[in-house]
Structure 1
Amino acid sequence: MKLLIVDDEVITTRVLEERIDRKYLDLDEIYTAYNVDMAKEILKKEKVEIILCDIEMPRGNGLELLEWVREQQEETEFLFLTSHEKFEYAFGAVKYGAASYLLKPIDIAEINRAIFTVVEKIRRKKKISDIEEYWNQGKKKMIQNFWRSVLRNVLSSKKEDIQEEIIRMGLAFQTDDKYILILLHLRKEVLSDRETPEDLSWFILSNILAELLTSSLQVENVASWEDGGEIYVTVVSDKDCESLKESIAELKDVLRRYYENPFYVGYVSGQCEIFRLGEIRSEILAYDRAHVYDGGEIFFFSELNKQDGKVEKLLDQKLILQCLEKGERVKLLEYLQKTMSLARKKNHSLTNMQYLQMELLRIVGIFLNKYEMDLEFLYSDTVYMDIQKKALTSEFDMVRWNTYVINKVFDSVENRKKGMGLVDVMVDYIRNHYEENLTRNTLAELVHFSPEYVGKMFKREMGVSINDYLNTLRVSKAKNMIASTNYKIVDIALMVGFENMSYFSSVFKKYEGISPAEYKKLLEHKK
C-alpha cells in the first residue's frame, strides 16, 4: 500500500515519514507534500490508498483536499491531523467519509494504531470485493452455460424442464420471459488477426455485442462456436424490437470501424420465450447453410423469403463456347462474374449456386471434347480442390473459382495446341535425364499437373506407361554400352539409372528375353 503525508510543517512531515512503521503497516511507499496543490499532483500520478493530512494549511485546507479526492471518485482513506478540535472540521471530515480525526501534538504510537486500523479496513473491503467479483464471475459463467444449453438443445425444449433447470441453477429467469436471438455468421479473420491474440479479439468483439445488443452489458449472453469450419456468434437480447433495430444499425457502424468486413451475414429473430430459442437457432442455422450471403447485411429472419425458386438456363452456352473458341479470356470472366452476381441477387440459394457451377463445367466439357480432353486435369488438381471447397462461401470465392477454372482450361488447351505438347516435353526430359532417379511425380512437377493425369496422358499418347518407356530406353542405352565399352555390367546398370544389379537383370530379361550377362556373351560369340 501507499501513504501520502500532507502537512505544511516540514519538520512534522519528516518526523512522520521516518517514524511511521512501514514494515508493521505493510507500506510500500510513503510520499510527502507540503500543501494541497503538491498533494494533488502526486495523486494524479500515483495510486495512493491512505492520506494522513493536516486540516489547517495556508494554501488550501485538508477538507478541500478530501472533497477534491471524492470528486475524482477515489475511495482513498483519510486520516486528519489538527491542532484545534473545531466542530466544523469534525463535521466536514465525517461528511466526506474520513476514517479518523487525530489531535496534535503527534503521538506516533496512536498514529501507527490509527493507520493500522485503516489498513485492516482496506484489506477487509478488498477481500469482500474479491469474493463479490468471484461470485459475480461464477454467476455469469453459470448464465452463459445456461444459454449455451438452451440454444444447442442440450436441455429439453419443454417449458417445465427448462423452468426446473432455472430453479436448480438459482437464476432470475422465467420461461415466459421473452428474448430476441441474434445470430452472426462471422469471418474467421475477425478472431484470427495475427497482430491480436485470439482471446483478446473475442473479448473485444463480445463486449461490443453485449454493449449494443443487451440492456446492461450482459457478456454472458454472447457465445461463439465453430461448425463445419464456419464461425457463428449468438446474442440473446433482452431488448425490445424497436430499440434493437436502432442498436443493430449502430452495430454495423461500430464493427466496420474496428474490422474491414467482419461477418458474412446476420439474422435477428422475433421475440420468443426461452424454451423456443433452441428451435429458432436451428431454423436460422439451417437457412444459413442453404444460402450464400457475404455482404455483411443483418436480416430480420421473419421477413426473409424461405421459398427458393430455381435459376435455370441463366448461362448463355453459345456465348461461353464462342469465348472459349476465340480465346476471349477477359470477356468470358467478366460475363461470368456479372451473371453470378445477378444470380446471387435474384436468389441466394446454395443449391442454385451449385447448379450454376455444374452448368458451367458442362459447357466447358463440351468445348474440351473437341480437343479429346476432359475435366480430369481439374479434379486431380489439389489447388482447384481447395478453391472448390470454398467457392460457395462468398461472391469473392465464387469469382475466384470461375477465374481458376477458365484460366486452367485456356492454359491446358493452349498446351495441347502447341507443337510440343505435354507428352513431348516429358519424353524430351526422359531422354536427357534417363540416368537419374525419375518417377511419375518428377514429371508431374515438371509440367505442373497431377501424377495421375500425367500418367494417363502419357499412356494415351505413347501407348505405354512412363515406367515402361523409361525402362525400355535404359535397356537400349545399356545394350549400346555393353556392345561398345569394357565397363562391368554392374557399372553399366548404375550408369543408365538402375539402383541395383538384381532389378537391372530382371528388367533387361523382360524386354530382351535374356540376361545382360547372356547378352554380352552372345555379342562376344558373334565377334
Structure 2
Amino acid sequence: MRCMLIDDDIPTVEALRRIVNWEEFGITEVQAAHNIQDAKQLFGQAEPDLIICDIEMPRGSGIDMIQWARDRQYEGGFIFLTCHESFSFASKAISYDADSYLVKPLDKQELEAALRKSMDTLKNKIMMGEYSKMGQAWLKNQDLLERSFWSEVLTAAISPRIQLIQSEVQKRELPVSVQADYRLLLISVPRSQIEREWDESIFHYALSNLVSEILSSQVSGGRIIAYQVDKVFYNAVLAESRVDRKWLEASAGEIIRLSRHYLKCTATCYFSEGAAISGLSQLKAELEQADESNLIFRGRVHLPNEPFHVDLTERYTLDTELFTLLFVQKEKAQIVNRLKKELELLTSRNKLDSATLHAIREDLLQVVYSLLSRHHIQAHRLFADELSQQLAQDAESSVFDFMKWAQALTEKTVDSIREVLQSEGVVERAKRFIQDHYTQDLSREDVAASVYLTADYLAKVFKNGTGQTVKEYLNDCRIRAAKQMLLESTASIGEIAMDTGFDTISYFSTVFKKWTGETPAAYRAKHKAAL
C-alpha cells in the first residue's frame, strides 16, 4: 500500500518517516508533499491508499485536501494532524469520513493506533468489494430525508397516528408504506465496550457505516438511524416484514462479528416482532429498556419473546462480614478480586440481573460507609470529586463499569482509613491546607473537609499532633505572614490585615499583640528601623 504525508513543516514529515515502521502496517511506499498543490499533483500520478495531512497550512488547509479528494470519489484512509483541538475542524473532518484526528505533538502510540485503525478499515472495505463505492448511499439526499422522517417516527416527534404519519410521508414525498408492518432491529454498543482510543463521533460514524454496508442489499440507508443515549451508541434499523427474517438475523450476527473484528467493540442486537408504523416508537423504548437491563448477555442476537434467562430462584447476598474484615485488613487486591470472582460466578450461572447488581452495590456501600463513619471520615466529601461521581453514576450499567467503580471505591476507602490511622499524615495535610489558604475566611469545618474528617475528630487529632488548636495554628500562619509584610512592604495596616485573612483591623491588632506583645504599628516602627 502507498501512503502520502502532507505537512508544510519539513521536520515533522521527516520525523513521521523515521518513527513509524511502515512495513508493519503493510505500507511499502511513503510519499511526501509540503503543500496542497504538490499533494494534488502526486495524487494524480499515483493515488495513495492513506493520506496523513496537517490541517493548518499556509497554501491550503487539510480540510481543502480531503474535500478535493472526496469530490473525486477517493475512498482511501485519511488521518488529520493539528496543533489545536477544534470542534469545527473535527466536525468537518468527520463529515468527510476522516479516520482519525490527532493533536500535535504526536504521541507514537496514538499515531500507531490510528494507522492500525485506518488499515483495518481499508481491509474491511476491500473485503466487502466496496472500496471505490463505500459511503455513496449514505450521502444521498433521499436517504437523508427518509432518515430524518424515521427518526421522528421513532422518537414520536411525529404523533403515532396513521393519518398524521401518512400526511408527513406525502409532504416529504417519501417511498414509505404506512400500511406495511415493520420489524425493528436495535444495535447497541455501550461506551465502556469500545477501546479508549476511539473518538466518540468517529466511532459512531464508523459503526453506522458498517451496519449500512452489511444491510444495504435489503435495507436502504435512510432506514438506518444512528443515535446516542447517555453513553450508549445505537443504530435502529427499520425493515419491512417482507424482508427475510432469517437473512436479517444472520446479518445481525455478522454485524456483531465484524464490529468485534474491525471496530474492536462488543455489539448486541435486539429484534422486535413486526408492528404497524404507529407502534414503532413504543417498540424502540421497549428494546432500549431490554438493553439497559442486559448485564450478562452482551455480544448476542436477541430475538423477540425470548427474555433473558436469569435464574432468580435464590437471591444472592453479599457477605458483608467478610468484606468488612478485608477492608479492616486493608486488603485492596483481595477485595477487588473477590468481587470480580463473585460476579463472574453469578454470570456463569445466569444469576446476575440489574436488581442483583444494585443490591451488591448497596451492600458494598454499607460496608464502606460504616467503616468511614467509624474513622470519622466524611464519605460525601471523600467521593465528591468528578471522577468518583461519574464512576458511581455508571456503576450499574455493566459488570465492567461496576468493577471500575468498585476498584476506585476500594482504593479511596482503604487509603483514607490508613491516613487517618497515621494521624501525623492527616495533621500534616491539614497544616498544609491552612498554609495554602490562610488568606481566606477559613473555619474549622473547612480544614476538616480538606482531609475528609469531621471537625470534632480533626480538632482532637490536630491538638494531639501540634499542641495547638486549628484556630491557633491558623492565626500563627497569618501573624507570621503579617510580620513579614510589615517589614518588607509599604502596605497600610488595614491592607495587611485584609491580605492575611483578618476580617477587621481591630481583630488583627488584638491577635497580633497577643502573639508578639506589640501592636502592628509598633512592631513595624521598632523592627523596620533596625533593618
TM-score bracket, normalised by the shorter chain, equals 0.5 to 0.7
Counterparts of 1:146-225 in structure 2 under 5 Å?
Answer: 146-188=149-191, 198=201, 204-213=206-215, 215-216=217-218, 218-225=220-227
Structure 1 match to 2:379 = 375
Distance 1:501 1:425, change over 3 A: closer
Contact 1:270 1:301 in 2 (8 A): yes
Distance (whole Å) between structure 2 residues aligned to residue 46 and residue 473 of structure 1: 76
Describe the SS at the equivalent of 1:150.
helix
Q: Structure 1: which 5+ runs fail to align?
A: 1-44, 48-132
Quote the offset at 1:416 in angstroms.
Answer: 1.6
Distance 1:453 1:322, change over 3 A: closer
Contact 2:493 2:521 in 1 (8 A): no
Structure 2 match to 1:67 = none
Distance (whole Å) between structure 2 residues aligned to residue 496 and residue 470 of structure 1: 18
Structure 2 match to 1:326 = 329
Describe the SS at the equivalent of 1:142.
helix
The answer to whether the aligner puts 1:299 opposite 2:302 as a matched pair is: yes
Deviates more, 1:467-476 or 1:266-275: 467-476
Counterparts of 1:466-505 in structure 2 under 5 Å?
Answer: 468-474=471-477, 499=499, 505=505
Distance 1:388 1:167, change over 3 A: same
Structure 1 match to 2:408 = 404
Q: Deviations over 1:188-209 (max 9, x none)?
A: 499998688946x555433431
Task: State the AA in 2 paired with 1:329.
Answer: K
Structure 2 match to 1:139 = 142
Describe the SS at the equivalent of 2:140.
helix
Distance 1:192 1:414, change over 3 A: closer
Task: State the AA in 2 paired with 1:225.
Answer: Y
Quote the offset at 1:405 in angstroms.
Answer: 1.1
Task: State the AA in 1 paired with 2:365.
Answer: L
Of 323, 335, 340, 1:337 maps to 340
Distance 1:436 1:356, change over 3 A: closer
Distance (whole Å) between structure 2 residues aligned to residue 312 and residue 516 of structure 1: 73
Task: State the AA in 2 paired with 1:337.
Answer: K
Distance (whole Å) between structure 2 residues aligned to residue 435 and residue 150 of structure 1: 56
Q: Deviations over 1:407-449 (max 9, x none)?
A: 212111211222514024433x479x589868879x99xx9x9
Contact 1:436 1:497 in 2 (8 A): no
Q: Deviations over 1:323-362 (max 9, x none)?
A: 1222332222111112234445645543432322111010
Task: State the AA in 2 paired with 1:142.
Answer: L
Counterparts of 1:35-46 in structure 2 under 5 Å?
Answer: none
Quote the offset at 1:234 in angstroms.
Answer: 0.8
Distance (whole Å) between structure 1 residues aligned to residue 174 and residue 488 of structure 2: 90
Distance 1:281 1:350, change over 3 A: same
Distance 1:439 1:352, change over 3 A: farther
Distance 1:392 1:374, change over 3 A: same
Distance (whole Å) between structure 2 residues aligned to residue 197 and residue 357 of structure 1: 28
Task: State the AA in 1 paired with 2:276.
Answer: E
Distance 1:197 1:342, change over 3 A: closer
Quote the offset at 1:489 in angstroms.
Answer: 10
Contact 1:212 1:251 in 2 (8 A): yes
Distance (whole Å) between structure 1 residues aligned to residue 343 and residue 498 of structure 2: 54
Contact 1:434 1:474 in 2 (8 A): no
Structure 1 match to 2:397 = 393
Describe the SS at the equivalent of 1:422.
helix
Distance (whole Å) between structure 2 residues aligned to residue 269 and residue 473 of structure 1: 72
Task: State the AA in 2 paired with 1:386.
Answer: Q
Describe the SS at the equivalent of 1:302.
coil
The answer to whether the aligner puts 1:316 opposite 2:319 as a matched pair is: yes
Distance 1:382 1:295, change over 3 A: same
Of 384, 390, 393, 2:388 maps to 384
Distance (whole Å) between structure 2 residues aligned to residue 192 and residue 389 of structure 1: 20
Contact 1:223 1:233 in 2 (8 A): yes
Distance 1:378 1:296, change over 3 A: farther
Describe the SS at the equivalent of 1:453.
coil
Describe the SS at the equivalent of 1:303.
coil
Describe the SS at the equivalent of 1:179.
strand
Structure 1 match to 2:94 = none
Contact 2:187 2:234 in 1 (8 A): yes
Q: Structure 2: which 5+ runs fail to align?
A: 1-44, 48-135, 527-531
Distance 1:294 1:409, change over 3 A: farther
Describe the SS at the equivalent of 1:361.
helix
Describe the SS at the equivalent of 2:228.
strand
Question: What percentage of aligned pairs have identical amino acids?
Answer: 17
Distance 1:477 1:342, change over 3 A: same
Describe the SS at the equivalent of 2:305.
helix
Of 206, 209, 229, 1:227 maps to 229
Distance (whole Å) between structure 2 residues aligned to residue 175 and residue 268 of structure 1: 20
Distance (whole Å) between structure 1 residues aligned to residue 270 and residue 503 of structure 2: 67
Quote the offset at 1:261 in angstroms.
Answer: 1.1
Distance 1:347 1:269, change over 3 A: farther
Structure 1 match to 2:238 = 236
Contact 2:513 2:519 in 1 (8 A): no
Distance 1:187 1:327, change over 3 A: closer
Of 354, 360, 365, 1:356 maps to 360
Contact 1:458 1:466 in 2 (8 A): no
With normalisation by structure 2, the TM-score equals: 0.58
Task: State the AA in 1 paired with 2:508.
Answer: F
Distance 1:453 1:436, change over 3 A: closer
Distance (whole Å) between structure 2 residues aligned to residue 233 and residue 311 of structure 1: 36
Distance 1:236 1:460, change over 3 A: farther
Quote the offset at 1:507 in angstroms.
Answer: 3.3
With normalisation by structure 1, the TM-score equals: 0.59
Distance 1:313 1:371, change over 3 A: farther
